[in-house]
Amino acid sequence: MRGRRLSSIIASVTAHAVLMAGAVIMLTPFLWMELTSLKPPQEIFRLGLHILPREWGGAENYGRVFSDTPMLRFLLNGIVVCGAIVILQILIAVPAAYALAKIPFRGRGLFFALILVSLLVPIQVPSLFLYLGFARAGLLDSYASLVLPFIISAFAIFLLRQHFLQFPQEVVEAARLDKFGEFEIAWRIVLPSARPAIGAFAVFSMVAHWNDLYWPLVVVTDPEMATPPLGVVFFRNQESGSDFGALMAAATVISAPLIIAFLAAQKTFVRGLTSIR
């Protein structure tokens, strides 16, 4: 009995040691980003391993981020673009998903097949044609070009349809007898039951579009229109690897919104990002 307890203690200590080592590796980039953003250049370039800042360079580094780049504009662009995408995705997906789940109409099967096929098409596939279209319309470097390609989400429609299918048909029929219009039934009666799914989708979509670099890189060249990821890339190329303190400060600023949101609402976040199946 004694031996078994000893071996289970050893197992537990080993597990914690391995997990702790893993956690250190996972967190090192974040810690190093923070620490470097607080160091003055001479400390970053001084050879030898020293972890904590001895002198304070934080004010200068963060100051440089906001004076050398339109950082607030990047963040605003990110909020406007992500917000517009998520709201439009939901506005367009709800009626479509409701129709797919609750109303038999001609062409419904074909529409659903189209949704399933669209799930297989990542943005990089239509990007070439869409770029040519936006270029011809003179819409490069605009919110329209950043938002429009994403307002239709086959995934949102698919997800919501699954939820609406579970909504009791009798309630829908009763509402129809009470002369509720279909649009009203969709928004006021069926939708509230799918609120958790919509929340999860909103988190998923927000994170995906806040992080997206590919499409902004294609349609935006004007720093004023850059989203946060593109903004930090512009800043990196402009600094060309000489001012690591300010670069790490910029990385901190643009990652902060998502990280704060994650730490504040871990459950919602994890659910939103992993219930995608």
Partner 1 sequence: MTALSAQKRAEARIGLVLASPAILLLVLLVVLPVLATAGFSLTDYRLGTQTIGFAGLDNYGTLWNDPRFWQSVGNTALYTLIVVPGSVGLGLGAALLIEGRGWLRPFYRVAYFLPVASTFIAMAIVWEFLMNPSVGLFNQILFALGLPGINFFGNAQTALFSMAAIGIWELTGFNMVLFMAGLAAIPRDLYDACAVDGGESGWDRFRMVTWPMLGPTTFFVAIITMIRAVRVFEVAAVITQGRPEGATEVLLYSIYVQAFQYFNIGYAAALIVVFLVVTALIALVQARFGGGREASR
Q: Which of residues 23-62 bind partner 1 (CB under 8 A)?
A: 23, 25-30, 32-33, 36, 44-45, 47-49
Q: Which two tokens stand for residue 12?
A: 């537990």
Among 38, 65, 96, 146, which residue sits at the site for partner 1 (rule: CB under 8 A)?
96
Q: Which two tokens stand for residue 127?
A: 């990007």
User: Binding mask 208-247 vs partner 1 (x if CB under 8 A, - otherwise)?
Assistant: --xx-xx--xx---------xx--xx--x----x--x--x
The C-alpha angle 81, 83, 84, rounded to 5 degrees, equals: 65
Restricting to residues 98-157, name those near partner 1 by CB under 8 A. 98-100, 103-108, 111, 114-116, 118-132, 148-149, 151-155, 157
The CA distance from 230 to 214, in Å, is 9
| E strands in 111-186 | none
3-state secondary structure of 38: coil
Min separation Cβ 17 and partner 1, Å: 10
Restricting to residues 243-272, name those near partner 1 by CB under 8 A. 244, 247-248, 250-252, 254-255, 258-259, 261-263, 266, 269-270
Min separation Cβ 61 and partner 1, Å: 13
CB 73 within 8 A of CB 224: yes
The CA distance from 131 to 118, in Å, is 19
**Amino acid of residue 64:** R
Residue nearer to partner 1 on the CB measure, 33 or 193: 33
Min separation Cβ 164 and partner 1, Å: 12
**What angle in degrees, to the nearest 10, is found between the helix axes of 244-264 and 266-274?**
100
Residue nearer to partner 1 on the CB measure, 193 or 255: 255
The CA distance from 245 to 256, in Å, is 16
Residue 178 binding partner 1, by CB under 8 A: no
Min separation Cβ 22 and partner 1, Å: 6
